[in-house]
Amino acid sequence: MALPSVDLRSDTVTRPTAAMRRAMAEAEVGDDVFGDDPTVIELERRVSALAGKQAALFVPSGTMGNQLAVHVQTRPADEVLLEAESHIYFYEQGGIAANSGCLAHPVNGAALRDDDDHVARVTLVCAENTHNRAGGAVVPLARLRELAALARERGLKLHLDGARLWNANVATGIPIADWAACADTVMMCFSKGLGAPVGSILTGPAETIRAARRARKRWGGGMRQVGILAAAALHAMDHHVARLADDHRRAKRLADGFASAPGARVIAPDTNIVFVDLDPSALDARAVVKGLGEHGVRMSAYGPRRVRAIAHLDVDDAGIERAIVAFHAVLAGPAHAAPEARAGRGPALAEGPGAAQR
């Protein structure tokens, strides 16, 4: 009997545990559009308290949470300053412009210019932690505090895309509230490392969240008996946060195991994301992903010569070891030899739709 595949494409591929399914089935629900779903109310109360904020709003996705944060803290023609590799800029379909009529100003690091009547007015700065396209890197709290201080000095708002802020919390031991104190608004996901099937949350000042709730309705994000999903998020908060340390440990084991494969250069992970850059003498990313699939291991191509693996609660230690063995087998195979032996494999891979979004 064939072993089940080891799916390392993302921590979004997890399936609800049996205990989480029970919590969902037994959830007390109401109509959240009327504001009377008790499980959603409890989730929003708990997260706002955890983050040290006044209010919170349960949303279907991290993208909606980020876009709402931009929308309610800017006006059309404002400029939003954000890092060039950030999820909000890279993977949200130009939503800053489409949803809020704002100009995205991507930078490497940070850049603020003096006010000038001839340029767009900067009103919002966006940060991301952990940083997806930097390999799940934890942005140090001191750096975020510096950014927050600079933003406040300039009278700007700061939004934190904390899709995997739970990972930063567990990796460093720094409480969520300390990270959140740097920002006016914070978005966090339940459907990534925490393993819930759906859902993210936006938290911040009461008036800001009230405006976001109104915009969520207009954007089609008003949900009815959504306490079923909020129950999964609550279960995840109670049972799946501390165990993120297992994902971080397994990611480090993956990195160590991949590092000795021929033609592989591994970026040491801070948390649960492992990037491997492939030397010109090695297979390209598409061929590596295809070869791994033939061994029952699934990873993502992250450009022509980079592959990504993410550890999560559906992959155990045995799965990690299978992935390492498969990775070595693929990179040490006949196609590893000379470039001319690999001719005719087709063009280098561009990032596939959705493959590396989260």
Cα(first)–Cα(last) distance of the chain, in Å?
32
Our CA angle for 234, 57, 40, nearest 5°, is: 40
Share of the chain above pLDDT 70, in %: 89
Residue 114 CB contacts under 8 Å (≥ 6 apart), including other chains: none
Fold of 18-239: Aspartate Aminotransferase; domain 2 (3.40.640)
Burial of 280 (0-12, 13-18, 19+ CB in 10 A): exposed
Contact 30, 37 (CB under 8 A): yes
Fold of 243-342: Aspartate Aminotransferase, domain 1 (3.90.1150)
What confidence score (pLDDT) does residue 109 get? 59
What confidence score (pLDDT) does residue 349 get? 34
Burial of 162 (0-12, 13-18, 19+ CB in 10 A): buried
What confidence score (pLDDT) does residue 57 get? 98
Q: Provide CATH 3.40.640.10 ranges for the chain.
A: 18-239
Q: Provide CATH 3.90.1150.10 ranges for the chain.
A: 243-342
253-260, Cβ contacts within 8 angstroms, sequence gap of 24 or more: 253/317, 253/320, 253/324, 254/8, 254/309, 254/311, 254/320, 254/323, 254/324, 257/320, 257/321, 257/323, 257/324, 257/327, 257/328, 258/309, 258/324, 258/327, 260/328
Contact 200, 212 (CB under 8 A): no
pLDDT band at 115; cut points 50, 70, 90 = low
Q: How far is CA 339 from the centre of its chain?
A: 35
pLDDT band at 108; cut points 50, 70, 90 = confident
The more confident residue out of 356 and 317 is 317
What confidence score (pLDDT) does residue 357 get? 58
Q: Give the β-pairing of 79-83 and 122-128.
A: parallel
Q: Which pair of tokens denotes residue 110? A: 């940070």
Condensed to tens digits (0 to 9), the pLDDT of residues 13-65 reads: 999 999 999 999 999 999 999 999 999 999 999 999 999 999 999 999 999 99
Condensed to tens digits (0 to 9), the pLDDT of residues 260-311 reads: 999 999 999 999 999 999 999 889 999 999 999 999 999 999 999 999 999 9
Condensed to tens digits (0 to 9), the pLDDT of residues 313-344 reads: 999 999 999 999 999 999 998 644 333 333 33
Residues 143-166, mean pLDDT to the nearest whole number: 95
Give just the sign of the alpha carbon dihedral 220, 225, 231, 232: negative
What confidence score (pLDDT) does residue 4 get? 85
| pLDDT for 165 beyond 60 | yes
Condensed to tens digits (0 to 9), the pLDDT of residues 198-255 reads: 999 999 999 999 999 999 999 999 999 999 999 999 999 999 999 999 999 999 999 9
| pLDDT for 1 beyond 80 | no
Contact 113, 119 (CB under 8 A): yes
The more confident residue out of 329 and 121 is 329
